[in-house]
Structure 1
Amino acid sequence: MKSSFIRSLVTVVLSLTLVTVAHAQDELPINAAASVNGVIISNDTVEQGIQAALSQGQKDSPELRKAVLGKMIEISLLSQQADKDGLANSDKANRQLALIRQNYLADLELSTFMSKNPVTDADVQAEYNREIASLGSQGMIVEYKVSDIAVATEADAQAALARIKKGESFDKVAKSVSLAPNKVQGGAVGWVQAGQTLPQIASVLITLSKGQVSPAPIQMPQGWYLIKLEDKKSSKPPTFEQAKAAVRNGLTQKKQFEFLSQLRQGANIVVR
């Protein structure tokens, strides 16, 4: 299994409660997939591990399910040994467990918000119609090939921009300082439409010429960004069936952004 899957599987296991129960040898409670020294690994936990594997492109099969359960048993054995070795209450463990809990709750909050405020089929159709109408009489859609650099602070973004202005390639600076996963590709994002990006990015993107870098850092909820317009092209718009998945994704991101903006406005945030 790939290491990224194993890391996500560990997160699934650690973010859920493993219950210790007393039971007869070789006897498992209802909804238990396995017991490791009395610690129950539930079928629900295993199913979340399966879903984590499927989300990373693996195919569901008896072999995959056996491998996921086997890895969870290993994780349970190791975590129990860590308890015995006194590692569970170390500062390092507490920091990591707090981070896992925070990330899990953040994902849970977003998913709960979206379940209460879903993007409906009618929303997707209306947005598609709006985007088609916005194309004007020529009816052509503009796509932008974009690269980006994501950093934590405005100072970091200004420093990266200064390096680019002095002649370093955007690709090199992205690989050097970007915090985004696409740093290994030099910050390459690929082809996007302005409407598929968040408003702060879109408003800058449409002003850039081919090869140009955003003249100033762009503040986003998760940090500061620099973007570069690698290329630009026009094409006929896709049909509704071809576009609806992308439109739905864009509307989902917009709803989440607006929700996060509301939380920020009501919060007392102090940054050093």
Structure 2
Amino acid sequence: MQPILSRLAAGVVLALGLHVGHAATVNGVTISGAAIVEAAKAAGLPDTPQSREVIKQQLIARELFRQEASKDKALEGRPEVQTQLREARNQILTQAWLKDRIKPEPVTDAQVRGRYNAIVASLGAMEYKARVIELADDAAADKALARIKAGEDFAKVAQDMSLAPTRASGGALDWVSFKVPAQEGRTQSLPLPLAEAISTLPAGGVSPSPVTWNARRYLVKVDALRPTQVPSYDAAAPGIRQALQAQALERATVALVTSLLTKAKITQ
């Protein structure tokens, strides 16, 4: 709702012909250039004159709305508004408290290097670009496979029938590499039966029969394969560091929750 209102507001302001510099005042209230830059960053926009202008118009409209809303003294008395104000206050206080209390361990360069080396060591000679269709049972799998054998595009069948989150992309997976023969726990998070099927198919090949895993049926196609392309440490390090930082944050959060649970009296 908020982005829609912002776009509408910006359109209204532009229609009124409000053309000002990189800062503005709205009935005496200042909108600073710094506020415009920060809002552009928060929206993920590049720092360009065009994006600053868009953000500025949105801030002008928002301030106009705020000023008009503040004149309606009955608004704060509405039960739904009171509820939203309490929820907003509680959320702000909770986030501030969590920021003070959750202190993840810093990720070291040695940890990033170690994780990079482990990833590189786990890669095989080839990497695969595959598609997967997840199906509920043998009947659905047989129906999907019959459509593919009849000449229908694998991606189209995936979009029509797959139960996997990759359905919208036609079952497409990212490039993946692992040592063959595939071994449990060493398949880059792929289920072992799927990794085994992928590693035995040629480019363009489709699994001749459904693969069974975790009570589901899967059809597999390999779109392409190529020698494994190992990214340099400098290219991979930022992503690895971010992943390790996320893991450290998760561990710190779990530790805090566990600590609070041990001291809390909870009835269910």
Aligned to 1:259: 252
Match runs of 1:1-272 below 5 Å: 6=3, 33-53=23-43, 55=44, 58-85=45-72, 86-88=74-76, 90=78, 91=80, 94-95=83-84, 98=87, 102=91, 106=95, 109=98, 117-135=105-123, 140=125, 164-165=136-137, 167=140, 171=159, 185=169, 190-191=174-175, 205-209=190-194, 215=214, 235-268=228-261
Q: C-alpha separation between the residues in 2 aligned to 1:140 and 1:111? A: 46
State the distance in 2 between where 1:134 and 1:113 align: 33
Q: Which has the higher contact order (CA 8 A, sep 6+)?
A: 2
Higher radius of gyration, 1 or 2: 2
* Higher mean C-alpha deviation, range 164-173 or range 73-82: 164-173
Answer whether contact 1:146 1:191 (CA < 8 A) is retained: no
What residue identity is the alignment partner of 1:266?
S
TM-score, structure 1 normalization: 0.50
Give unpaired runs (5+ residues) of structure 1. 11-31, 149-160, 195-201, 217-226
Q: SS where residue 119 of structure 1 aligns?
A: coil
Counterpart contact for 1:214–1:228, Cα < 8 Å: no
TM superposition shift of 1:72: 0.8
- What's the Cα RMSD here? 5.5
Output one character per residue of 1:26-71: Cα deviation in whole Å (capped at 9) or x when no partner: xxxxxx9444345444544322212124x3xx43222221221221
| Greater Cα offset, 40-49 or 61-70 | 40-49
Q: Which amino acid in 2 is paired with 1:49?
A: A
State the identity %: 22
CA distance in 2, matches of 1:102, 1:147: 41
For structure 2, the residue ranges without an aligned partner over 5 or more in a row are: 8-21, 142-156, 179-186, 199-209
Equivalent residue number for residue 28 of structure 1: none
Could you tell me which amino acid in structure 2 is paired with residue 167 of structure 1?
A
Distance 1:108 1:7 in 2: 31
TM-score, L = length of structure 2? 0.51
Deviations 1:193-225 (A, max 9, x none): 89xxxxxxx996343515868738xxxxxxxxx
Q: Distance in 1 between matches of 2:228 and 2:213?
A: 24
How far, CA to CA, are the matches of 2:96 and 2:245 in structure 1?
Answer: 14
Give SS of 1:205's match: coil
The answer on whether the counterparts of 1:147 and 1:190 sit within 8 Å (CA) in structure 2 is no
Aligned residue identity for 2:228: S
Q: Which moved more, 1:34-43 or 1:122-131?
A: 34-43
- Cα contact 2:126–2:228 (8 A) shared by 1: yes
Alpha carbons of structure 1 residues 8 and 143: separation in structure 2 relative to 1, 3 Å: farther
Structure 2: distance between partners of 1:47 and 1:267: 39
Query: Would you say how many aligned residue pairs link Structure 1 and Structure 2?
Result: 209
**Which one-letter code corresponds to 1:256 in the other structure?**
L
